[in-house]
């Protein structure tokens, strides 16, 4: 019996058994930059380009949804220069995305509390919402921005209390930022850390978790396929036998 698979075998995937929804914690931008003697902001710029490539790769493979952790509710604690750089990158990306969404058939949604973002960013998000609303069934990228899993659940509980209606799992899910989006079957975390970091806590209750040492700016289509291939080797029993 062989204990190890070749690199090519490890990247072979069954396109008839793809996860509908992949979630990614985009971790390692700062460490990637530090290893190269660059400012952390350079790592975030490289990470933004990786997001473009991986979103395209997911769409081309036939994955229906990709959700990425772009900025958490805790990330405001970082130095102002770094926060400003991340917000500037988001503005730049959204401005470019608005021009390409309809051409490329990519829907774009945002999860998180966007009320505290700049007026410029909120305006761009509204524009992407308008375009997404009239695009047909196609690939959808979800960006978690000023997002925290606990914060999302608390906001949903407040909505439920205000409505005064009885709540079950389905009705509660409909109050979350991800309403209408299936739960991720696969959660990928680059960068070597092995924790959820307050990400999609409700939605990832039964997600398969895949961790890799690869830093996010170095994450490529081959790494993506390795993660999908690992997912396809697992038996998803959801508590059953």
Q: Which residues are catalytic?
A: 27, 75
Three state DSSP letters for 131-162: HHHHCCCCEEEEEEEEECHHHHHHHHHHHHHH
User: Phi and psi at residue 67, in whole multiples of 5°?
Assistant: -120, 130
Angle at 106 between CA 86 and CA 30, to 5 degrees: 25
| Secondary structure E strands in 80-192 | 106-111, 139-147, 186-189
- In contact, 111 and 144? CB cutoff 8 Å: yes
Region label for 210, one of left (φ > 0), alpha (ψ between -120 and 50) or beta (otherwise) = beta
């Amino acid at each position: 019996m062989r204990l190890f698979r070749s690199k090519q075998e490890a990247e072979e995937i069954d396109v008839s058994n793809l996860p509908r929804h992949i979630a990614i914690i985009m971790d390692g931008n700062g460490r990637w930059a530090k290893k190269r003697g660059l400012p952390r902001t350079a790592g975030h710029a490289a990470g933004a380009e990786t997001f473009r490539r991986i979103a395209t790769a997911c769409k081309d493979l036939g994955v229906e949804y990709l959700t990425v952790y772009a900025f958490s509710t805790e990330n405001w604690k970082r130095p102002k220069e770094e926060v400003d750089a991340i917000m500037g990158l988001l503005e730049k990306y959204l401005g470019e995305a608005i021009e390409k969404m309809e051409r490329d058939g990519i829907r774009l949604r945002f999860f998180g509390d966007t009320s505290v973002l700049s007026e410029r960013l909120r305006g761009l998000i509204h524009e992407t919402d308008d375009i997404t609303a009239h695009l047909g069934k196609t690939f959808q990228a979800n960006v978690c921005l000023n997002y925290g899993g606990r914060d999302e659940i608390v906001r949903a509980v407040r909505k439920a209390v205000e409505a005064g209606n009885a709540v079950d799992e389905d009705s509660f899910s409909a109050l979350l930022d991800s309403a209408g989006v299936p739960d991720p079957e696969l959660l990928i975390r680059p960068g070597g850390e092995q924790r959820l970091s307050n990400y999609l806590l409700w939605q990832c209750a039964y997600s398969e978790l895949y961790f890799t040492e690869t830093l996010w700016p170095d994450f490529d289509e081959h790494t993506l396929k390795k993660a999908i291939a690992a997912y396809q080797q697992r038996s998803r029993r959801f508590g059953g036998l």
